[in-house]
Chain A
Amino acid sequence: MAPPATAVADSLASPERPRDSRANIDIMAPTHGVQWPYFLALGAAVLGVLQALTVLLYQTYVGLGVAGYQQPVFWGVYIVTFVFWIGIGHAGTLISAILFLFRAKWRNAVNRGAEALTVFAVITAALFPILHLGRIWKLYFLIPYPNQRALWVNFKSPLLWDVFAISTYASISIVFFYIGLIPDIAIARDRATGVKKAIYTVLALGWQGTGPQWKAHSRSILHLSGLATPLVLSVHSVVSWDFAMSIVPGWHATIFAPYFVAGAVFGGFAMVINILIPVRRIFRLERYLTEYHFENMSRFILFTSTICGYAYAAEYFIAWYSGVEYEQTTFWLRAFGPYWISTWCMITFNVIFPQLLWIKKLRTNLPFLFVLCLFINLGMWFERYVIIIGSLSRDYISGSWGIYVISPVELSVLAGSFCWFSMWFLLFLKVFPVIAITEVKELEIHARDHGGAH
């Protein structure tokens, strides 16, 4: 039987190369071409990493003494910065997993950037306990591995829980990130040439957007969201137990887990805003990252800032109400002792400044948001500094009190950590789309099909 005339006509026609979708063109644009400001930024980040690496080689050769540790403070800037970066990593999973389960559609434009931020922040954080070891070649002692003496790690220690929590969080974040990327890598594959095409072809795993592929993909994201939601809550809880399981005044508190989780989400959102505002401006993504998205993130910041403020107040109240003089002294010294600047910076930046977000105009004022979030990030670093250094330097016995001074080595490594994080994020921007293209299309096509109704 001869095929119908119309079908033959279509097959004989030589259609022009079809127009690409606007979302593909706009969002993939940052991955094309080379701009000198980008390479300037990348070069600065790489240099920052190299200087930190050099300093770390020096520290490894000479010993941890150069890192400012001195009696009685043996958890210093490295642990402060470790907790800071782990906290930063929380917004990504919150946006990807928890807001996905709540069907908050606005997350679609910001989730990719936030997920990338999570992965790179966790990779950065994971370096710090290793640097803090001093003898970094003994790292494998943390892993339960069969050894001659059949001596195993201590599973009752919160430090070991941390090893499992952080490595699980890093692994799941990477898996989540990659699964979300697969359809977008296929878009890049279909439009790339040469070596780039070959790499994207391998990474896209033969993705074509067929029915079974989308179905498996959607369910994988759903199940991973279900797994990642308790995980994200557990990770910073476990980190908080590094402190709360001890009997050090100022640390031994049951409020620590929710307090740390809220603080992590707070700081994480601030970092997402700090990164997405310049990305949006430089790569002309205003159509996708709108003021609406930033306003919603501002609301999260306001909400979690209030929780942090409550936690700060509750800590002081419990110290007073407990009647334990060690607790009372610790908290008095936090506010009026040698580290008072850090404490008041923490309260001002994390609780007082964000209250301005009650004003709607400020929630959509991006330059204001950018500056506010810089302060919040600083405030969150100070929060961990106050908790760790404040408590360790003022123990039970006043004779063992001491003063901790940050060493140039620690400052160098701290700066290097920001460069390390920036380096990975800049590389990511050039290789993968910073906004989830298929998720944006899902909303656009749905709106076109159903006139914007859900």
Chain B
Amino acid sequence: MPTLVSVFDLPSNTASAVRKLKDRGFDDLKTYSPAPFIELELAEDPKPSKVRRFTLIGGLSGVTLGFLMQIWMSLEWPIKIAGKNFASIPPFWIVGFELTILLGGFFTFFGLLIVGGLYPKRLDKHYDLRFSAEEFGVVVTCDERDVAEVEALLRAESAKEVTLADS
């Protein structure tokens, strides 16, 4: 299938192009950006990120693990300290809190790796050095009969370059 690689200068033009491409049903597209821009993100995928689920699961696992660990260990070798109960909840909040943050943070990192597809790998064929400079890329794969329409649409949104990469 033909792939059109377009290059933009501004995020607003890129976002507008993405929005119009999606409206026309050209969903097989990928964007490249040198920095995060909310308008581009909303145009491409306005749904909430799944990373938050990882954070939540990590945090809940941390607090649960923290309390269970302390309660079990305190009961396994019961020593009366400062007149407190063997499993005394108030002081356990400190370690419980720290483990909430620790596992929440680690799970967030793993969420980033999984959701963002981050692992050492070959870069995309159409990835360009300019996309880590200051330019934006929109790569659209479409049917041959739609190439002219997609190109016209990209150019109408101020694409400074449109290249037919595969056909």
Which residues of A come within 8 Å of B, CB atoms? 1, 3-4, 6-8, 10-11, 18-21, 23-24, 144, 149-156, 160-161, 164-165, 167-168, 171-172, 175-176, 178-179, 182-183, 186-187, 190-191, 201-202, 204-220, 223-224, 227-228, 230-231, 234, 238, 438-439, 441-442, 444-446, 448-450
Contact B98 A20 (CB under 8 A): no
Known interface pairs A21-B133, A151-B77, A182-B118; A161-B105 also in contact (CB < 8 Å): no
A7 to B102, CA, bound (A): 51
Known interface pairs A7-B163, A168-B99; A155-B145 also in contact (CB < 8 Å): no
Contact B45 A205 (CB under 8 A): no
Q: How far apart are B51's CB and chain A's nearest CB, in angstroms?
A: 4
Contact B91 A227 (CB under 8 A): no
Contact A445 B134 (CB under 8 A): yes
**Chain A residue, CB-CB nearest to B43:** A211
Interface presence of B157 (CB below 8 A): no
Can you report 17 residue pairs joining A to B where beta carbons are below 8 Å apart? A3-B2, A10-B163, A18-B130, A149-B77, A155-B92, A160-B95, A168-B99, A171-B105, A187-B132, A205-B113, A206-B120, A210-B31, A211-B40, A216-B112, A216-B115, A234-B94, A450-B12
Q: How far apart are B166's CB and chain A's nearest CB, in angstroms?
A: 10
Interface membership of chain B positions 7-33, coded 1 if the CB is closer than 8 angstroms to chain A and 0 otherwise: 000111000000000000000001111
Contact A10 B161 (CB under 8 A): yes
| B109 partner residues in chain A, CB cutoff 8 A | 175, 178-179, 220
Q: Which of A144, A178, A215, A234 contacts B98 (CB 8 A)?
A: A234
For the A-B complex with A149-B77, A171-B102, A175-B105 known, give 11 more contacts whose Cβ atoms are closer than 8 Å: A6-B155, A152-B73, A179-B109, A187-B132, A201-B120, A211-B31, A217-B116, A223-B104, A224-B105, A227-B105, A238-B94
| A201 partner residues in chain B, CB cutoff 8 A | 120
Q: How far apart are A56's CB and chain B's nearest CB, in angstroms?
A: 28
Contact A164 B95 (CB under 8 A): yes
A207 to B35, CA, bound (A): 12
| A171 partner residues in chain B, CB cutoff 8 A | 102, 105-106
Contact A186 B132 (CB under 8 A): yes
A171 to B105, CA, bound (A): 9
**Chain A residue, CB-CB nearest to B100:** A227
Contact B44 A211 (CB under 8 A): yes
Contact B35 A216 (CB under 8 A): no
**Chain B residue, CB-CB nearest to A7:** B164
Contact B76 A152 (CB under 8 A): yes
Which residues of B come within 8 Å of A, CB atoms? 2, 4, 10-12, 30-37, 40-41, 44-45, 49, 51-52, 55, 59, 69-70, 73-74, 76-77, 79, 81-82, 84, 88, 91-92, 94-95, 97-99, 101-102, 104-106, 108-109, 111-113, 115-124, 127-135, 144-145, 147-148, 151, 155, 161-165, 167
Known interface pairs A18-B129, A164-B95; A3-B111 also in contact (CB < 8 Å): no
Contact A152 B31 (CB under 8 A): no
Contact B120 A230 (CB under 8 A): no
Contact A439 B95 (CB under 8 A): no
**Chain A residue, CB-CB nearest to B118:** A205
| B37 partner residues in chain A, CB cutoff 8 A | 442, 445-446
Q: How far apart are A434's CB and chain B's nearest CB, in angstroms?
A: 18
Q: How far apart are B113's CB and chain A's nearest CB, in angstroms?
A: 7
Contact A217 B112 (CB under 8 A): yes
| B74 partner residues in chain A, CB cutoff 8 A | 152, 155
Contact A219 B49 (CB under 8 A): yes
| B163 partner residues in chain A, CB cutoff 8 A | 7, 10-11
| B151 partner residues in chain A, CB cutoff 8 A | 4, 6-7
Q: Which of B49, B94, B105, B119 contacts A205 (CB 8 A)?
A: B119
Contact A165 B118 (CB under 8 A): no
Contact B164 A3 (CB under 8 A): yes
Contact A224 B108 (CB under 8 A): yes
Contact A208 B40 (CB under 8 A): no
**Chain B residue, CB-CB nearest to A208:** B127
Contact B147 A1 (CB under 8 A): yes
Contact A227 B108 (CB under 8 A): yes
A445 to B70, CA, bound (A): 50
Contact A213 B161 (CB under 8 A): no
Known interface pairs A214-B33, A441-B34; A8-B164 also in contact (CB < 8 Å): yes
| A182 partner residues in chain B, CB cutoff 8 A | 118
Known interface pairs A202-B120, A209-B132, A218-B41; A21-B91 also in contact (CB < 8 Å): no
| B108 partner residues in chain A, CB cutoff 8 A | 175, 220, 223-224, 227
Q: Which of B30, B70, B133 contacts A211 (CB 8 A)?
A: B30
Contact B34 A209 (CB under 8 A): yes
Most chain B CB within 10 A, of A201, A208, A209, is at A208
A200 to B109, CA, bound (A): 19
Q: How far apart are B26's CB and chain A's nearest CB, in angstroms?
A: 15
Known interface pairs A151-B77, A441-B134; A211-B116 also in contact (CB < 8 Å): no
A172 to B103, CA, bound (A): 9
Contact B167 A213 (CB under 8 A): no
**Chain A residue, CB-CB nearest to B120:** A202
4 smallest CB-CB distances across A and B, nearest first, come from A216-B116, A442-B35, A152-B73, A205-B118
